[in-house]
Amino acid sequence: MTGHEVSDAVDASIDEQPAAWALHRAVTTAALAEIDQRQAHHPTCALCGQRALKLDKLGLCSKVSEPHKKWRAETRAELATGRRR
């Protein structure tokens, strides 16, 4: 394949992409909007703001990242000593 043929092939694939991307984006946006609407009444995590079907006793979502673990540990310690922030 010559350099010219390669650049023609690249041009052709770029030409086809905008429509595909626009369609993909429209579908994704619609799906996200629908999910957002359905979850609008769900509670949000006190730490990260993530919507969850159910929060744990400490008001957090089910994530187990370090900040979530730290929050749980600190909140449990505060509850144990009877003081709240």
* Residues lying near Zn ion in the complex (CB under 5 A): 45, 47-48, 50, 61, 63
Q: How far is the CB of 41 from Zn ion (least distance, A)?
A: 18
**Residue 72 near residue 63, CB atoms below 8 Å:** no
Toward Zn ion, which CB reaches closer, 61 or 75? 61
Residue 49, phi then psi, degrees to nearest 5:
80, 5
Distance of alpha carbon 43 from alpha carbon 55, whole angstroms:
7
Toward Zn ion, which CB reaches closer, 34 or 56? 56
Q: How far is the CB of 31 from Zn ion (least distance, A)?
A: 22
SS3 71: helix
Q: How far is the CB of 66 from Zn ion (least distance, A)?
A: 12
Toward Zn ion, which CB reaches closer, 63 or 72? 63
**Residue 45 near residue 60, CB atoms below 8 Å:** yes
